Amino acid sequence: MTDIFREVEEDVRRERLEKLWKQYGDYIIAAAAIVIITIAGFELWQRYEASQREKASAQFNAAIQLAGTNPAQAVDQLSALAASAPSGYALLARLAKADALLATGDKVRAVAEYEALAAKNDGPIGSTARIRAAWALADTASKAQLQTLLAPLTSPTSPWRYMANEVLAYADYRVGEYQASEKEYRALAAETEAPAPLRTRARIMAAFLKGGGNTNFGFVPQAPTPAAPANGAAPQTTQQGSPPQ
């Protein structure tokens, strides 16, 4: 009897499965096909993205090398890369383009590019652009303008505060606020968490200002020009090893 009931139960289950398959089989096949296509498409997209990153990396490295010898030509390559590369390389290309513009002497366009990057990106790229813009303007802008530009980086918790404060210390030095500048440089030199090269520069500047290096001692006069002979003849020169005639 048990075998009979088991056979009947299996027949009923089989009939239900056949009914379900007839009713939903097409949907199951379609769903499986979608899953397979999606996985395949995702893998193809990953491969495409990887190839694009490799291509952008090679182009970026070539443009950076070119910028070292011909920054004007590198600007064009970096502009094209910024427009077509994946987002990470596009940001790097824009930053490098600003550097190349500055190297060509086009400070106005370079600063505009730096400031545009800083406004749209609050990560390392934007912060780097903000610092470079400040240094590009350090010899012409007022300290108030530099403070406004660097304000996002000068908070006590910002890891960029040391570099930003170095620019501001230089701004005071440039306009003759030597005591304030020395104090700022000395404070930077004492910051144990600041980068070592920055602390070294700050220590040197503080010592320079304390020692009176800011004082104008005049200038070294040029050597006098030998007077021409009265008869208008060219002055005689003495060759080594031969007495004058």
pLDDT at residue 136, rounded to an integer: 96
Confirm if 83 and 97 have CB atoms less than 8 A apart.
no
pLDDT at residue 61, rounded to an integer: 84
Per-residue pLDDT 10s for the chain (245 aa) are: 555 546 556 655 666 766 666 766 666 676 666 776 666 666 666 665 566 667 777 888 888 888 888 999 999 999 998 888 887 888 999 999 999 999 999 999 999 999 999 998 889 999 999 999 999 999 999 999 999 999 999 999 999 999 999 999 999 999 999 999 999 999 999 999 999 999 999 999 999 999 887 676 555 566 666 666 656 555 555 444 444 44
The DSSP call for residue 121 is -
pLDDT at residue 88, rounded to an integer: 82
pLDDT at residue 57, rounded to an integer: 77
pLDDT at residue 242, rounded to an integer: 47
pLDDT at residue 7, rounded to an integer: 55
Please give the single-letter amino acid code of residue 40.
A
What are the DSSP calls for 41-90, one per residue?
HHHHHHHHHHHHHHHHHHHHHHHHHHHTT-HHHHHHHHHHHHHHS-HHHH
**Structural domain spans, the chain:** 8-104, 139-213
The residue length of the chain stands at 245
